[in-house]
Amino acid sequence: MVGLDGMSLGEAFQLVPPYLRPLVKAAVLHLLWSGDVTTALGAA
């Protein structure tokens, strides 16, 4: 398992095969929108 701590969303999306990225992006954005997952929005 890969630790995602400190990774940008773009970097995390690159960890999955290209054909799965739209599904992964949709799932992550849904989790953020619903408040089930939180993230820092500031630039590093």
Per-residue tens of pLDDT for the chain, all 44 residues: 567 777 888 888 888 899 999 998 998 888 888 988 777 777 65
What pLDDT, on a 0 to 100 scale, did the predictor assign at position 39? 76
Burial zone of 7 (CB within 10 Å; 0-12 exposed, 13-18 middle, 19+ buried): middle
Spatial contact of 37 and 29, defined as CB atoms under 8 Å apart: no
Q: What is the pTM of this model?
A: 0.66
Label residue 6 left, alpha or beta by phi (over 0 means left) and psi (-120 to 50 means alpha): left
How is residue 14 annotated by DSSP? Answer: T
How many Å separate Cα 24 from the centre of its chain?
A: 7
